Amino acid sequence: MIPVVAREERSGKGRSNEKALAALEKRLGLGIALDRFRQAFLHSSYVNERPEELESNERLEFLGDAVIELAISEYLFQNFPGYTEGELTKIKSVVVSGPVLAERARELGLGEALFLGVGEEESGGRRRRSILADVFEALVGLIFLEKGYKRAAQFVVEQLGDEVEKVEKHQRTMDYKSLLQEEAQRQGARPVYTLLREEGADHQKVFTVRVEVAGLEGIGRGRRVKEAEQAAAKQVYFKLESAKSQCSVPDEP
């Protein structure tokens, strides 16, 4: 069996990644040294195969997640003065969600610069939505460390500002089933959908669906099962988001 690192070296993938990384940094114009820029693209699967690599990009993901939340919250607060807290939260929850971050990462070509372990590479990790969302967060975290909050927030708004407008104008179809699935996974749970009723004639059927996850329940109705599932998922998703907001700051004793 060919050793993991040797297989990658033989394929030239490591050299290809370095070229893609340099081209990406130049295209983004961030002015970050390549050895530091590279840190944002080191997936844990790559680091696990190489003892010489000290750290993956996971800590940068953690930091970037917080910076993205703050930058979008600040942008919404400044640009939508007539909106309530609840309305702003709904827009933000979609804009900073994994599917949206992954789509933007794909458009930027971040996946091409990723350093993945051989197994992750062969299983299609370079196109996996969760990995793409993570590398977008890691990149933002790195920009924050290297250039400060102002530049990091500027980058976030440059990349996601149009998403805010789409959500606000309802031009994007919000996939609440995917959003709920993602949030549930973070909590180690799984949504369970149950078809409760079918009513009406064949050409005018109305379906009622219940979804349960993490002790919460939502019931949705629609002309199609998928439509009812989306309605139910939307209810529970915003219940989870509301619970997160209430738990983020402890009550004063």
| pTM reported for the whole predicted model | 0.68
Asked if residues 69 and 92 have their Cβ atoms less than 8 Å apart, the reply is: yes
> Would you write out the chain's pLDDT as a tens digit for each of its 253 residues?
334 444 444 344 556 788 889 999 999 999 999 999 999 999 999 888 887 767 899 999 999 999 999 999 999 999 999 888 888 888 898 899 888 999 999 999 999 999 988 888 888 888 888 899 999 999 999 999 999 999 999 999 999 999 998 888 764 556 788 888 888 887 888 999 999 999 988 888 899 999 999 899 999 999 899 999 999 998 998 888 766 655 543 333 3
Torsion sign across C-alpha atoms 180, 70, 114, 110:
positive
Of the residues 61, 121, 137, 229, which is catalytic? 137
Torsion sign across C-alpha atoms 77, 82, 84, 87:
negative
65 flagged as catalytic:
yes
Residues 179-248, CATH architecture: 2-Layer Sandwich (3.30)
Of the residues 61, 65, 120, 183, which is catalytic? 65
CATH 1.10.1520.10 intervals, the chain = 4-168
C-alpha distance from residue 51 to each of 37, 132, 145 (Å): 20, 24, 25
4-168 maps to which CATH number?
1.10.1520.10
Helix (H, G, I), strand (E, B) or coil at 198: strand
| Helix ranges, 169-224 (H) | 176-186
Rounded distance, CA 230 to CA 170, Å?
A: 15
Beta-strand relationship, 192-199 and 216-222: unpaired
Helix (H, G, I), strand (E, B) or coil at 155: helix
162 flagged as catalytic:
no
Angle formed by the axes of helices 13-28 and 4-11, nearest 10°: 70
Q: Which amino acid is at 139?
A: L
CATH 3.30.160.20 intervals, the chain = 179-248
* Helical (H) or strand (E) element with 210: strand 206-213
Asked if residues 220 and 206 have their Cβ atoms less than 8 Å apart, the reply is: no
The contacts of residue 224 (CB under 8 Å, 6+ apart) are: 207
